[in-house]
């Protein structure tokens, strides 16, 4: 709806994952500028949201400051991903969304299955050999998982732009860190009452947001301050009038396991591991008492990291650790503003000047400038190449 309202074309595509989930992803094939309507093969860009978000978060800012629209107007073929379990990806070939088994996943499965399926789908549909990947927060973590568990995908990435990059969360300064002490009993309780979905964007949760975030300026300010406690305070860059739209699309929902994986990682030290089932569960799943580490050295795609000094969730210390592990890191770039927080990457009123203009200078040309045969898969080979 946002895309149509802003005057852009949109396509809804359904991506089937290897384990049966049906993901709803959106495509903006061109923008509103003459540049975006030029003939010739375009480079695809894939944008992936973070935890408890959806692709709507790339669209909420004013049109000239929303990354998806900026890229479309520049001439890129823009694709917006949605992870399993959010508002646009609640279908499965054999499981009903109300079944517990539907929600039996963490970011391990999102990275292992969702991201490869989406990358291959986009390449197959566009006929391109490679795409540019832009992720925010968990959208970067699942990229690392995808590249590590499916190493052949690295060759299909032209460049990865990691905004608020997530891997280790040992130095999280947000008050959500307090949840680590309660995650196991909460998860056990929710399992007992047969609840595995976390904050879907329906019912009572929507009502709570309407009451506490969307009625008066005073309530909106309280809601904004809660966001600041989670992500870092930056009142000068937060457009409080956009809060009803932000809260209307967030949280978009995921599984309890995905959220608990994040919380359990707080006390694991600087590491990036698979889901922690506890000592006994880890022996059953992995044959060892602790969850295995992901080997970030297997992420060989070219990567740029962008981070904010005031980000309480993906902190400078954890980003520095991640940077030391990536073998093809092109640059680790601090946003040149001391109060830049976790959500400023998406919703800052000055996001162009502080971030996006720099990102755009590092992207390849939106149009292929050499012979298409050197960059685009011939139609007869599209399916074979997309399967990798």
The domains of the chain are located at 2-366
Q: Check residue 382 and give its pLDDT.
A: 31
Packed helices 138-149 and 115-126: angle between N→C axes, nearest 10 degrees: 80
Token pair of 149, please? 């568990």
Helix (H) or strand (E) holding 213, with range, is helix 203-213
Q: Is the dihedral of CA 360, 70, 376, 120 positive or negative?
A: positive
Contact 46, 132 (CB under 8 A): yes
Contact 77, 42 (CB under 8 A): yes
In the structure, how many helices (H) and strands (E) does the chain have? 17, 11
The active-site residue out of 55, 57, 342, 348 is 342
Map residue 352 onto helix, strand or coil. Answer: helix
Instruction: Express each pLDDT in 326-384 by its tens digit.
Output: 999 999 999 999 999 999 999 999 999 999 999 999 999 999 864 334 443 333 333 33
Task: Give dist(CA 88, CA 58) in Å, integer.
Answer: 14
Find the mean pLDDT for residues 240-254: 83
> Which CATH architecture describes the domain 2-366?
3-Layer(aba) Sandwich (3.40)
pLDDT band, very low/low/confident/very high, at 209 (cuts 50, 70, 90): low
Task: Give dist(CA 85, CA 253) in Å, integer.
Answer: 6
Which is more confident, 145 or 200? 145
* Number of Cβ within a 10 Å radius of residue 380: 7
Find the mean pLDDT for residues 13-25: 99
Helix (H) or strand (E) holding 78, with range, is strand 77-80
Catalytic status, residue 311: yes
The active-site residue out of 36, 89, 137, 348 is 137
Contact 345, 351 (CB under 8 A): yes
Task: Note the pTM of the prediction, 2 decimals.
Answer: 0.91
Please, what is the Cα angle at 341 between 336 and 347, to 5 degrees?
A: 95
Contact 165, 319 (CB under 8 A): yes
Instruction: Express each pLDDT in 210-240 by its tens digit.
Output: 666 766 666 678 788 888 988 999 999 998 8
Q: Check residue 192 and give its pLDDT.
A: 66
Task: Give dist(CA 299, CA 325) in Å, integer.
Answer: 9
Helix (H) or strand (E) holding 243, with range, is helix 243-249
The active-site residue out of 114, 311, 318, 344 is 311
Query: What are the phi and psi torsion angles at 282 (to 5°)?
Result: -65, -40
Percentage above 90 pLDDT, the chain: 73
Find the mean pLDDT for residues 131-155: 99
Catalytic status, residue 265: no
Q: Check residue 371 and give its pLDDT.
A: 39
């Amino acid at each position: 709806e946002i895309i149509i309202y802003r005057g852009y074309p949109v396509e809804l595509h359904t991506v089937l994952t290897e384990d049966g989930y049906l993901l709803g992803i959106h495509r903006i094939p061109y923008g509103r500028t003459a540049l975006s309507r030029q003939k010739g093969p375009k480079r695809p860009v894939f944008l992936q949201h973070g935890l408890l978000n959806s692709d709507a978060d790339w669209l909420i800012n004013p049109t000239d400051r929303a990354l998806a629209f900026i890229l479309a107007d520049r001439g890129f073929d823009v694709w917006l991903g949605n992870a399993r379990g959010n508002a646009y990806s609640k279908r499965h070939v054999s499981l009903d969304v109300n079944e517990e088994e539907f929600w039996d996943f963490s970011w391990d499965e999102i990275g292992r299955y969702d991201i490869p399926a989406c990358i291959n789908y986009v390449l197959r549909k566009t006929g391109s050999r490679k795409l540019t990947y832009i992720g925010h927060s968990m959208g970067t973590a699942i990229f690392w998982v995808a590249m590590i568990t499916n190493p052949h995908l690295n060759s299909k990435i032209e460049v990865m732009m990691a905004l608020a990059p997530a891997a280790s969360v040992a130095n999280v300064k947000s008050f959500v860190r307090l949840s680590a002490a309660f995650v196991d009993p909460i998860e056990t309780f929710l399992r007992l009452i047969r609840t595995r979905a976390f904050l879907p964007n329906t019912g009572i949760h929507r009502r709570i947001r309407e009451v506490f975030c969307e009625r008066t300026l005073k309530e909106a300010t309280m809601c904004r301050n809660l966001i600041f406690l989670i992500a870092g305070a930056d009142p000068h860059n937060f457009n409080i009038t956009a809060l009803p739209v932000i809260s209307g699309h967030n949280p978009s929902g995921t599984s309890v396991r995905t959220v608990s994986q994040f919380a359990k990682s707080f006390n694991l030290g600087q590491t990036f591991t698979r889901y922690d089932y506890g000592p006994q569960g880890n022996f059953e799943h992995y044959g060892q008492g602790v969850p295995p580490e992901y080997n970030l050295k297997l992420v060989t795609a070219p990567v740029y990291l962008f981070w904010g000094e005031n980000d309480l969730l993906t902190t400078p210390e954890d980003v520095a650790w991640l940077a030391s592990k990536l073998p093809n890191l092109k640059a680790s770039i601090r946003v040149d503003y001391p109060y830049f927080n976790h959500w400023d990457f998406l919703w800052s009123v000055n996001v162009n000047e502080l971030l996006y203009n720099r990102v755009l200078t590092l992207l390849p040309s939106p149009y292929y400038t050499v012979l298409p045969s050197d960059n685009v898969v011939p139609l007869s080979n599209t399916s074979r190449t997309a399967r990798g």
